[in-house]
A = this chain, B = another copy of it.
Amino acid sequence: MNIVVEEQVKIVFSSAGNPKTWTPFLKDKGIIVAHVVPGTKYAVKCETAGVDAVVAEGFEAGGHNGREETTTLCLIPQVAAAISLPVIAAGGIASGKAVLGAMVLGADGVQIGSRFAVSRESSAHESFKRAVVEAKEGDTRLMLKKLAPVRLLANGFSKKVYEAEELGADVTALTQLLGKGRAKNGMFEGDLEEGELEIGQTSSMINRVQPVAEIIQDIWEDYQNAKKRVEDFI
């Protein structure tokens, strides 16, 4: 956190912890804080803690995820109704249609993970990007719920976790199976068999690796087209 301050980082997105831990420290240094939550009660805690904006992340999101499994469609309207802070929708958003849908539900903005994770500029391993591009509907699953729920792309490692969980593996067994460094090993070093491949359900809708500028252009055009179509709805 001292490095964040020294390097004059302007905005910090925090998650996976109590927003009270770091928000006052960061706010005191003039840094804007957005905190990621998977449920309305946590969004209310963010507001109390002085957070500037809340990222409300649904079940379909990749990587670490809430225990209540509330989807983006159900989560956004509830969070938006409960707090007065800006709400950034996350999970299941990879197109302009989804951006507009999230805004209709009450979001002020969106956070897009998976689609940028496989952009040309992304530091993820090229083999991981290719695996995401090839992913089909149903190829991700929320796993390791007894540790910290995480949405993973199907591979050799996730198959082992699935089988262990089906047999009722406990925290100790799952911790041992997970080991250390699998996320780095999978997503950054390209071990598609034994690595942990964190990605969202939108992976089945992402069909190529594109430069970031092109992704943003695509999303913007799709958003504008979706907005135009709304005019024709009854």
Q: Using a CB–CB distance below 8 Å, which chain A residues touch chain B? A: 39-41, 58-60, 67-75, 77-78, 91-93, 95, 97-98, 100-106, 137-138, 141-142, 146, 165-169, 201-202, 204-205, 226-227, 229-230, 233
A106 touches B100 (CB 8 A): no
B137 touches A201 (CB 8 A): no
B78 touches A137 (CB 8 A): yes
Bound: A40/B137 CA distance, A: 8
7 smallest beta-carbon distances between A and B, as pairs = A168-B168, A68-B138, A73-B92, A71-B71, A101-B101, A74-B201, A167-B168
Query: What is the CB-to-nearest-CB distance from A137 to chain B, in angstroms, rounded to a whole number?
Result: 5
Query: What is the CB-to-nearest-CB distance from A111 to chain B, in angstroms, rounded to a whole number?
Result: 14
Bound: A226/B103 CA distance, A: 10
A141 touches B69 (CB 8 A): yes
**Known contacts A137-B70, A141-B69, A201-B71; A226/B104 CB under 8 A:** yes
Query: What is the CB-to-nearest-CB distance from A77 to chain B, in angstroms, rounded to a whole number?
Result: 6
Most buried by B among A41, A105, A137, A169: A137
**Given contact pairs A72-B73, A98-B105, A227-B230, a sample of 6 additional A-B residue pairs in the complex whose CB atoms are under 8 Å apart:** A39-B137, A69-B138, A71-B73, A73-B98, A74-B137, A74-B202
Residues of B within 8 A of A138 (CB): 39, 67-70
Bound: A204/B60 CA distance, A: 19
